[in-house]
Amino acid sequence: MINYIKLIRPINILMIALVVCLMQFCVVNPIYYKCGVSIDLFPLVFSLLMVSILTIAAAGYVINDYFDTKIDEINKPSKVIVGKTVTRAQAGTYFQTLLVIGNIAGIALAAITRDLTLVFIYAGVSGILWFYSSSYKRQLLLGNIMISICTFLCVFLVGYVSNKALILKLQSNPDLLSMLILLKTDPIQEVWNWILGFSLFAFLFTLIREMVKDIEDIEGDREMECRTMPIVWGVTVSKVVISVITVITMAVIAYFALFVLKTPIDRITLSFAIALEVLCLYFIYQLWTAQCRSGYSAASLTLKITMLVGMLFSVFI
């Protein structure tokens, strides 16, 4: 049983669950509460959202290990599970079960919010995870972008589902809609602004981290004839690309902190922005001084901490 739990990366799954909770309870719900609105059937909607995101993410980790067994035997032989303590057939069944549960929850969510788009989003993410693990993760930049899009959607779906549920309620309650118009407040647009900001943040840092992981796993990837960025362009050029994207991300953070976020907690906003900038600079230092797998692993850990710090800003919105 413990090996099945290890396959789904429990720490990463808990991190995803934390992010979903932060977005829902520290961003979306407070905005709705401030405007005097709420989502019908909220506990059910949120539960289905959480189950769908976590089970599909877990399925992604399982299928990734399923296809990466030979690479992992070179890069991290002590952590290989599929083919040793869990057979490939068992891993395949595990993946399918998780994926079916996630998509059923997604379909139920689509039915409650009366939004067919959700069905296509969940089906699309499921397809991305399969093709990413089976082929595209070995291609230049394509795999990095695909997994970053999935991370973007984990955050984006919280706002998307909540706003769809609220729109459905407003359509059936003209008095509530009239009240919002009279008060000149738009909770739906405010949720979009915040959620898209956090989604962009998650996308950029996931993209950077995936590129670092390619350098970290270069030995096994080269043995399996993958065409990742450090193999095609070299480690030095990859470090330059990663550094440039990190600096761009730092500029985006500074822009949002100084010119976009208008809140009564400017000191907290500034403190978080400075903390993120310092962490980014430290990451760049780690990246350029790293000479072996452990060095790149440390840089990757710094990126995880940076992402967590950025998401925790939602507590102070």
Q: Is 263 exposed, middle or buried (0-12, 13-18, 19+ CB in 10 A)?
A: exposed
The phi and psi torsions of 224 (rounded to 5 degrees) equal -95, 10
CA–CA separation, 52 and 221 (whole Å): 31
Q: Low-confidence residues of the chain, pLDDT below 50?
A: none
CA–CA separation, 46 and 198 (whole Å): 19
DSSP 222-271: HHTT---HHHHH-HHHHHHHHHHHHHHHHHHHHHIIIII---S-HHHHHH
pLDDT, tens only, 212-254: 999 998 988 888 778 899 999 999 999 999 999 999 999 999 9
- Structural contact between residues 202 and 214, judged by C-beta atoms closer than 8 angstroms: no
Q: Give 79's DSSP letter.
A: G
Q: Rounded to two decimals, what is the model's pTM?
A: 0.92
Q: Is 130 exposed, middle or buried (0-12, 13-18, 19+ CB in 10 A)?
A: middle
Among residues 72, 237, 227, which one has the least CA distance to residue 136?
Answer: 227
Amino acid letter at 311? M
- What's the confidence (pLDDT) of residue 130? 87
CA–CA separation, 55 and 254 (whole Å): 35
- What's the confidence (pLDDT) of residue 286? 97
- What's the confidence (pLDDT) of residue 259? 75
- Structural contact between residues 130 and 123, judged by C-beta atoms closer than 8 angstroms: no
- What's the confidence (pLDDT) of residue 233? 95
CA–CA separation, 216 and 214 (whole Å): 5
Among residues 248, 224, 267, which one has the least CA distance to residue 67?
Answer: 224
CA–CA separation, 133 and 138 (whole Å): 8
